[in-house]
């Protein structure tokens, strides 16, 4: 069918060369496309977050063409931080991510299972999908290293977060790590705000934020874990505390299932938001 005959399109396309051509076909037409491909994320003017979580979704109502769904680590972080950013603009983020095998696909998950079995049986781990053994090991994220010595995954977080929060001058640095967890990512964040942000106020906001679950039990030392969010839609946030080195900064910890909220679910939520708010009909005028 012609793209001009469609009001929306959900696609999963796996090859960069084809995607660059596909973009030229759909760009400027009346079809609004929510795309999960990384090829588009750093090239498009808009990065959608889905639903109620960020400012660019509202811009998307008047957008024609392709809305690029962000990277999984960016989505999980921004779902947690955007409610706070609306109250006191974020000035700087220092992020460390702990990314599970599922972020590299089903074959990578299988490799973690098989390597774990082999190591427990006294056999050497044989990496195929990952560059190094993943069982009982961790290593800096395996995406390509850029000229500035950050890896591609880290730079995605920098560029996409600026778009999502409509903060082109946001200072963000990230260190992404691959860990031997089957499913769901974790992130440790240090966040500097424009003004001091009380921990109690941050907890109250996050407890009411859509798509967020607050797990905060200091007495039991119980905070979010990957097993809490595996197969779940919400991002779990906890261990929120005042940064003892900066009066305007908070430290927090989060976990989220990057297969769900960090991937396909978010693209569907973008489409649902457009449908509910007349975005597709506006794109057709």
User: 285: pLDDT confidence band, cut at 50, 70 and 90?
Assistant: very low
The model's pLDDT over 82-111, given as tens digits with 9 standing for 90+, comes to 999 999 999 999 999 999 999 999 999 999
Phi/psi class of residue 43: alpha, beta or left (left: φ > 0; alpha: ψ in -120 to 50)? alpha
Helix and strand totals (H; E) in the chain: 10, 10
The model's pLDDT over 156-178, given as tens digits with 9 standing for 90+, comes to 999 999 988 889 999 999 999 99
Please report the sign of the dihedral spanned by the C-alpha atoms of residue 203, residue 93, residue 176, residue 265. Answer: positive
pTM of the model: 0.80
Which residues, other chains included, contact 91 with Cβ-Cβ below 8 Å and sequence gap of 6+?
Answer: 170, 171, 192, 193, 194, 248
SS3 assignment for 60-71: HCCCCEEEECCC
Residue 151 has pLDDT above 90, yes or no: yes
Q: Where are the domains of the chain?
A: 3-70+264-283, 72-258
**With pLDDT > 70 as the criterion, what percentage of the chain qualifies?**
72
1 within 8 A of 25, measured Cβ to Cβ: no
pLDDT for the residue 5: 52
pLDDT for the residue 133: 97
Q: Which residues are catalytic?
A: 72, 185
CA–CA gap between residue 242 and residue 45 (Å, rounded): 34
User: 31: pLDDT confidence band, cut at 50, 70 and 90?
Assistant: low
Task: Tell which wins on pLDDT, 45 or 40.
Answer: 40
Task: Tell which wins on pLDDT, 63 or 163.
Answer: 163
pLDDT for the residue 172: 98
Helix (H) or strand (E) holding 160: helix 152-164
Residue 1 has pLDDT above 60, yes or no: no
Place of tokens 């993943």: 134
Which residues, other chains included, contact 73 with Cβ-Cβ below 8 Å and sequence gap of 6+?
Answer: 95, 97, 99, 153, 156, 157, 174, 176, 185, 187, 258, 262
Task: Tell which wins on pLDDT, 272 or 235.
Answer: 235
Which residues, other chains included, contact 154 with Cβ-Cβ below 8 Å and sequence gap of 6+?
Answer: 141, 173, 174, 175, 176
Residue 2 has pLDDT above 90, yes or no: no
The model's pLDDT over 111-130, given as tens digits with 9 standing for 90+, comes to 999 999 999 999 999 999 99
CA–CA gap between residue 107 and residue 100 (Å, rounded): 13
Nearest-10 crossing angle of helices 199-208, 72-85: 120
Residue 16 has pLDDT above 50, yes or no: no
Judging by beta carbons within 10 Å of its beta carbon (0-12, 13-18, 19+), is residue 146 exposed, middle or buried?
A: exposed
pLDDT for the residue 277: 73
Task: Tell which wins on pLDDT, 70 or 229.
Answer: 229
Question: Dihedral of the CA atoms 269, 270, 276, 281 (nearest 10)?
Answer: -150
**Assigned architecture for domain 72-258:** 2-Layer Sandwich (3.30)
């Amino acid at each position: 069918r012609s793209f001009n005959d469609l009001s929306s399109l959900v696609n999963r396309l796996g090859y960069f060369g084809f995607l660059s051509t596909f973009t030229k076909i759909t760009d400027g037409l009346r079809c609004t496309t929510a795309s999960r491909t990384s090829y588009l994320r750093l090239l498009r003017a808009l990065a959608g977050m889905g639903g109620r979580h960020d400012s660019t979704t509202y811009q998307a109502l008047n957008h024609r063409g392709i809305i690029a769904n962000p990277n999984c680590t960016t989505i999980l972080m921004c779902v947690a931080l955007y409610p706070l950013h609306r109250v006191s603009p974020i000035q700087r983020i220092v992020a460390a991510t702990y990314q599970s095998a599922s972020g590299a696909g089903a074959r990578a998950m299988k490799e973690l299972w098989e390597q774990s079995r082999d190591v427990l049986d006294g056999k050497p781990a044989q990496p195929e999908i990952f560059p190094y053994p993943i069982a009982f090991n961790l290593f800096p994220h395996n995406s390509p290293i850029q000229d500035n010595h950050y890896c591609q995954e880290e730079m995605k977080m920098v560029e996409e977060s600026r778009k999502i929060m409509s903060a082109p001058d946001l200072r963000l640095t990230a260190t992404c790590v691959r860990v031997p967890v089957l499913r769901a990512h974790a992130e440790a964040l240090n966040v500097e705000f424009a003004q001091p942000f009380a921990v109690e106020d941050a907890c109250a906001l996050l407890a009411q934020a859509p798509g967020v679950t607050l797990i905060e039990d200091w007495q039991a030392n119980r905070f979010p874990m990957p097993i809490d969010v595996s197969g779940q839609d919400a991002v779990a946030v906890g261990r929120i505390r005042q940064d003892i080195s900066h009066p305007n900064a908070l430290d927090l910890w989060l976990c989220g299932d990057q297969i769900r909220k960090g991937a396909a679910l978010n693209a569907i939520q973008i489409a649902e938001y457009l449908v509910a708010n007349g975005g597709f009909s506006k794109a057709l005028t």
